[in-house]
Amino acid sequence: MKIVIVSDIHGNYDALSALPESYDELWVLGDLVNYGPEPKEVVDFVRHRATLVVRGNHDQCIGYADDPRCSLRFREMAEATRWFSAAVVTREQKAYLRSLPLQTNCTRPETRFYLCHATPSDPLYEYRSASSDKWADECVHMHADVILVGHTHIPFIRSFNGQTVVNPGSLGQPKTGKPDACYAVWEDGQVSLRSYGYPVNKTIDKIRLMPVGKAVQIDLIHVLESGGQAPG
Protein backbone atom coordinates (compact mmCIF):
# COMPACT_ATOMS: atom_id res chain seq x y z
CA MET A 1 0.00 0.00 0.00
CA LYS A 2 1.30 3.44 -0.96
CA ILE A 3 0.22 6.59 0.89
CA VAL A 4 1.28 10.08 -0.20
CA ILE A 5 1.30 12.60 2.66
CA VAL A 6 1.23 16.34 1.96
CA SER A 7 0.79 19.45 4.08
CA ASP A 8 0.64 23.22 3.86
CA ILE A 9 -0.53 23.54 0.26
CA HIS A 10 -1.52 27.17 0.82
CA GLY A 11 -3.50 27.80 -2.33
CA ASN A 12 -0.68 26.64 -4.60
CA TYR A 13 -2.61 24.57 -7.11
CA ASP A 14 0.30 24.47 -9.56
CA ALA A 15 2.42 22.60 -7.00
CA LEU A 16 -0.45 20.29 -6.02
CA SER A 17 -1.48 19.39 -9.57
CA ALA A 18 2.17 18.62 -10.47
CA LEU A 19 2.43 15.91 -7.80
CA PRO A 20 4.39 13.17 -9.60
CA GLU A 21 3.35 10.19 -7.47
CA SER A 22 0.60 7.67 -7.97
CA TYR A 23 -0.93 6.50 -4.69
CA ASP A 24 -3.52 4.30 -3.06
CA GLU A 25 -4.40 7.07 -0.62
CA LEU A 26 -3.64 10.79 -0.33
CA TRP A 27 -3.46 12.27 3.19
CA VAL A 28 -3.42 16.03 3.80
CA LEU A 29 -2.18 17.56 7.07
CA GLY A 30 -3.97 20.88 6.73
CA ASP A 31 -3.51 24.45 5.49
CA LEU A 32 -5.18 24.18 2.11
CA VAL A 33 -5.71 27.95 1.85
CA ASN A 34 -4.11 31.42 2.19
CA TYR A 35 -0.88 32.83 0.74
CA GLY A 36 -1.34 31.21 -2.68
CA PRO A 37 -3.43 32.38 -5.66
CA GLU A 38 -5.79 29.39 -6.07
CA PRO A 39 -7.28 28.33 -2.73
CA LYS A 40 -10.62 27.40 -4.29
CA GLU A 41 -8.99 24.98 -6.73
CA VAL A 42 -6.91 23.40 -3.97
CA VAL A 43 -9.94 22.81 -1.74
CA ASP A 44 -11.81 21.24 -4.63
CA PHE A 45 -8.88 18.92 -5.46
CA VAL A 46 -8.47 17.80 -1.87
CA ARG A 47 -12.19 17.26 -1.32
CA HIS A 48 -12.41 14.89 -4.25
CA ARG A 49 -9.08 13.05 -4.01
CA ALA A 50 -7.87 12.90 -0.43
CA THR A 51 -8.77 10.01 1.86
CA LEU A 52 -7.80 11.72 5.14
CA VAL A 53 -7.59 15.47 5.80
CA VAL A 54 -7.10 17.39 9.04
CA ARG A 55 -7.70 21.09 9.68
CA GLY A 56 -4.83 23.56 9.81
CA ASN A 57 -4.73 27.03 11.35
CA HIS A 58 -5.33 28.66 7.96
CA ASP A 59 -8.29 26.37 7.27
CA GLN A 60 -9.59 27.41 10.70
CA CYS A 61 -9.04 31.03 9.67
CA ILE A 62 -11.18 30.81 6.52
CA GLY A 63 -13.75 28.36 7.87
CA TYR A 64 -14.40 30.27 11.09
CA ALA A 65 -13.15 33.81 10.26
CA ASP A 66 -10.47 33.28 12.89
CA ASP A 67 -6.96 34.66 13.43
CA PRO A 68 -4.38 32.21 11.98
CA ARG A 69 -1.84 33.47 14.57
CA CYS A 70 1.06 33.70 12.12
CA SER A 71 4.53 34.81 13.08
CA LEU A 72 5.21 38.52 12.87
CA ARG A 73 7.29 38.26 9.69
CA PHE A 74 4.46 36.50 7.82
CA ARG A 75 1.51 38.31 9.42
CA GLU A 76 1.02 40.97 6.75
CA MET A 77 1.01 38.37 3.96
CA ALA A 78 -1.39 36.18 5.92
CA GLU A 79 -3.78 39.03 6.64
CA ALA A 80 -3.90 40.25 3.03
CA THR A 81 -4.35 36.80 1.52
CA ARG A 82 -6.86 35.84 4.20
CA TRP A 83 -9.36 38.30 2.77
CA PHE A 84 -8.63 37.12 -0.75
CA SER A 85 -9.19 33.47 0.21
CA ALA A 86 -12.37 34.33 2.09
CA ALA A 87 -13.71 36.09 -1.00
CA VAL A 88 -13.04 33.30 -3.53
CA VAL A 89 -13.64 30.15 -1.46
CA THR A 90 -17.31 29.20 -1.73
CA ARG A 91 -19.73 28.88 1.18
CA GLU A 92 -19.81 25.13 0.64
CA GLN A 93 -16.01 24.95 0.70
CA LYS A 94 -15.89 26.95 3.94
CA ALA A 95 -18.32 24.46 5.46
CA TYR A 96 -15.97 21.69 4.32
CA LEU A 97 -13.01 23.42 6.03
CA ARG A 98 -15.05 23.72 9.23
CA SER A 99 -15.93 20.02 9.06
CA LEU A 100 -12.31 18.88 9.00
CA PRO A 101 -11.16 17.21 12.23
CA LEU A 102 -8.34 18.70 14.28
CA GLN A 103 -6.78 15.24 14.56
CA THR A 104 -7.50 11.71 13.48
CA ASN A 105 -6.26 8.17 14.02
CA CYS A 106 -6.26 5.27 11.60
CA THR A 107 -4.64 1.92 11.03
CA ARG A 108 -3.17 0.68 7.80
CA PRO A 109 -1.50 -2.72 7.46
CA GLU A 110 -0.07 -3.33 10.93
CA THR A 111 0.71 0.38 11.44
CA ARG A 112 -1.16 2.84 13.68
CA PHE A 113 -1.13 6.44 12.45
CA TYR A 114 -1.99 9.71 14.16
CA LEU A 115 -2.48 12.86 12.05
CA CYS A 116 -2.69 16.53 13.02
CA HIS A 117 -1.50 19.84 11.63
CA ALA A 118 0.85 21.20 14.31
CA THR A 119 1.44 19.03 17.41
CA PRO A 120 -0.71 16.48 19.25
CA SER A 121 -0.98 18.77 22.31
CA ASP A 122 -1.82 21.84 20.19
CA PRO A 123 -3.15 20.63 16.80
CA LEU A 124 -3.57 24.07 15.24
CA TYR A 125 -0.95 26.52 16.40
CA GLU A 126 2.21 25.27 18.13
CA TYR A 127 5.35 25.79 16.06
CA ARG A 128 7.71 23.06 17.24
CA SER A 129 11.11 22.55 15.65
CA ALA A 130 12.38 19.18 14.49
CA SER A 131 15.07 19.17 17.20
CA SER A 132 12.71 19.82 20.11
CA ASP A 133 12.89 17.37 23.03
CA LYS A 134 9.12 17.74 23.43
CA TRP A 135 8.57 15.25 20.60
CA ALA A 136 10.02 12.44 22.71
CA ASP A 137 7.97 13.48 25.74
CA GLU A 138 4.77 13.58 23.72
CA CYS A 139 5.32 10.32 21.88
CA VAL A 140 5.24 8.45 25.18
CA HIS A 141 1.55 9.25 25.50
CA MET A 142 0.60 8.54 21.89
CA HIS A 143 -0.99 5.23 20.91
CA ALA A 144 0.48 5.38 17.42
CA ASP A 145 3.44 3.99 15.55
CA VAL A 146 3.67 6.96 13.17
CA ILE A 147 2.80 10.54 14.12
CA LEU A 148 2.25 12.84 11.13
CA VAL A 149 2.49 16.62 11.54
CA GLY A 150 3.02 19.70 9.39
CA HIS A 151 2.80 23.46 10.09
CA THR A 152 6.52 24.32 10.15
CA HIS A 153 7.01 23.82 6.38
CA ILE A 154 10.28 22.04 7.20
CA PRO A 155 10.49 18.27 6.51
CA PHE A 156 11.95 15.84 9.03
CA ILE A 157 11.78 12.27 10.32
CA ARG A 158 12.62 11.41 13.94
CA SER A 159 12.28 8.15 15.84
CA PHE A 160 11.74 7.58 19.55
CA ASN A 161 11.61 4.08 21.05
CA GLY A 162 9.90 2.53 18.05
CA GLN A 163 7.67 5.53 17.28
CA THR A 164 8.29 7.80 14.31
CA VAL A 165 7.40 11.48 13.90
CA VAL A 166 7.18 12.64 10.28
CA ASN A 167 6.76 16.14 8.92
CA PRO A 168 6.47 16.07 5.11
CA GLY A 169 7.30 19.77 4.81
CA SER A 170 5.21 22.11 2.70
CA LEU A 171 3.91 21.35 -0.76
CA GLY A 172 2.98 24.92 -1.60
CA GLN A 173 5.33 27.15 0.40
CA PRO A 174 8.43 25.14 1.37
CA LYS A 175 11.02 26.47 3.81
CA THR A 176 13.98 24.39 2.72
CA GLY A 177 15.99 27.05 0.94
CA LYS A 178 14.73 26.03 -2.50
CA PRO A 179 11.29 26.23 -4.14
CA ASP A 180 10.74 22.48 -4.73
CA ALA A 181 7.48 21.11 -3.34
CA CYS A 182 7.97 18.73 -0.40
CA TYR A 183 5.99 15.66 0.63
CA ALA A 184 6.33 12.20 2.18
CA VAL A 185 5.52 8.66 1.08
CA TRP A 186 4.67 5.70 3.30
CA GLU A 187 4.93 2.41 1.43
CA ASP A 188 5.22 -1.15 2.68
CA GLY A 189 6.10 -0.04 6.19
CA GLN A 190 8.77 2.48 5.14
CA VAL A 191 8.51 6.27 5.09
CA SER A 192 10.59 8.64 2.95
CA LEU A 193 10.79 12.38 2.33
CA ARG A 194 10.64 13.53 -1.28
CA SER A 195 10.45 16.72 -3.34
CA TYR A 196 9.92 17.85 -6.92
CA GLY A 197 10.08 20.93 -9.06
CA TYR A 198 6.95 22.56 -10.46
CA PRO A 199 6.33 25.64 -12.63
CA VAL A 200 6.96 28.25 -9.94
CA ASN A 201 6.92 31.07 -12.51
CA LYS A 202 3.37 30.13 -13.41
CA THR A 203 2.36 30.54 -9.77
CA ILE A 204 4.24 33.83 -9.56
CA ASP A 205 2.33 35.18 -12.56
CA LYS A 206 -0.92 34.35 -10.75
CA ILE A 207 0.28 36.05 -7.56
CA ARG A 208 0.85 39.24 -9.56
CA LEU A 209 -2.85 39.17 -10.46
CA MET A 210 -4.06 38.76 -6.87
CA PRO A 211 -6.00 41.74 -5.46
CA VAL A 212 -3.48 42.42 -2.70
CA GLY A 213 -0.97 45.22 -2.30
CA LYS A 214 2.13 45.32 -4.47
CA ALA A 215 4.40 44.96 -1.43
CA VAL A 216 2.54 41.82 -0.35
CA GLN A 217 2.85 40.37 -3.85
CA ILE A 218 6.60 40.99 -3.80
CA ASP A 219 6.91 39.30 -0.40
CA LEU A 220 4.86 36.27 -1.48
CA ILE A 221 6.99 35.86 -4.59
CA HIS A 222 10.19 36.20 -2.57
CA VAL A 223 9.09 33.45 -0.17
CA LEU A 224 8.36 31.08 -3.08
CA GLU A 225 11.55 31.83 -5.01
CA SER A 226 13.83 31.67 -1.95
CA GLY A 227 12.33 28.48 -0.55
CA GLY A 228 10.87 30.05 2.55
CA GLN A 229 13.10 32.98 3.41
CA ALA A 230 10.86 35.58 5.00
CA PRO A 231 10.98 39.11 3.57
CA GLY A 232 13.52 41.35 5.25
Which element (helix H / strand E) includes 29?
Answer: none
Higher-scoring residue by pLDDT: 6, 74: 6
Position 159: which residue type?
Answer: S
Distance CA 43, CA 46 (A): 5
CATH number of residue 178's parent domain? 3.60.21.10
Distance CA 7, CA 28 (A): 5
pLDDT of residue 73: 81
pLDDT of residue 72: 83
Domain that holds residue 152: 2-226
Position 37: which residue type?
Answer: P
230 pLDDT above the threshold of 90: no
Domain-embedded: residue 232: no
pLDDT of residue 232: 65
Is the Cβ–Cβ distance between 117 and 83 less than 8 Å? no
- What is the chain's mean pLDDT, rounded? 96
Domain-embedded: residue 31: yes
Q: Judging by beta carbons within 10 Å of its beta carbon (0-12, 13-18, 19+), is residue 3 exposed, middle or buried?
A: buried
Q: Judging by beta carbons within 10 Å of its beta carbon (0-12, 13-18, 19+), is residue 41 exposed, middle or buried?
A: middle
What per-residue string of b and e applies to 113-140 under the rule 16 or more CB within 10 Å gives b? bbbbbbbbeebbbbebeeeeeebeebbe
Work out the average pLDDT over 5-23. 98
Domain-embedded: residue 231: no
Per-residue model confidence as pLDDT tens digits over 111-152: 999 999 999 999 999 999 999 999 999 888 899 999 999 999
Work out the average pLDDT over 23-35. 98
Q: What share of the chain is helix, strand, coil (3-state, %, to 5)?
A: 35, 20, 45
What 3-state DSSP class applies to 142? Answer: coil
pTM: 0.96
Q: Tell me the residue ranges of DSSP E strands in 117-210.
A: 146-148, 156-160, 163-167, 181-187, 190-196
Q: How many structural domains compose the chain?
A: 1
Where residue 20 falls among pLDDT bands split at 50, 70, 90?
A: very high
Report the 10 Å Cβ neighbour count for 85.
Answer: 29
DSSP state string for 52-121: EE---HHHHHHHHT------HHHHHHHHHHHHHHHHHS-HHHHHHHHHS-SEEEEEETTEEEEEESSBTT
CA-wise closest residue to 33 among 76, 72, 90, 71: 90
Domain-embedded: residue 88: yes
Domain-embedded: residue 115: yes
